[in-house]
A and B are shown apart, each in its own frame.
Chain A
Amino acid sequence: MKILTAPLMERCIGCHSCSLACAREVHHRLSWDTAGIRIRSSGGLSTGFEARTCLACLPAPCVEACPTGAYSQRKGGGVIVRKKLCIRCGSCAAACPVDAVYIDSTGEPFVCLHCGKCVPFCPHDCLEMADREAMSTSSRIPREVEMEEAS
Chain B
Amino acid sequence: MKELLDHLCQLARLELPSGEREEFARKFADLVGFVDAIKELHDEGREVPLQVPKERMDTAADEPRDRPCEGEVPRSYAAGHIGDLEENGA
Whether chains A and B associate is no
- B residues with CB within 8 A of A: none
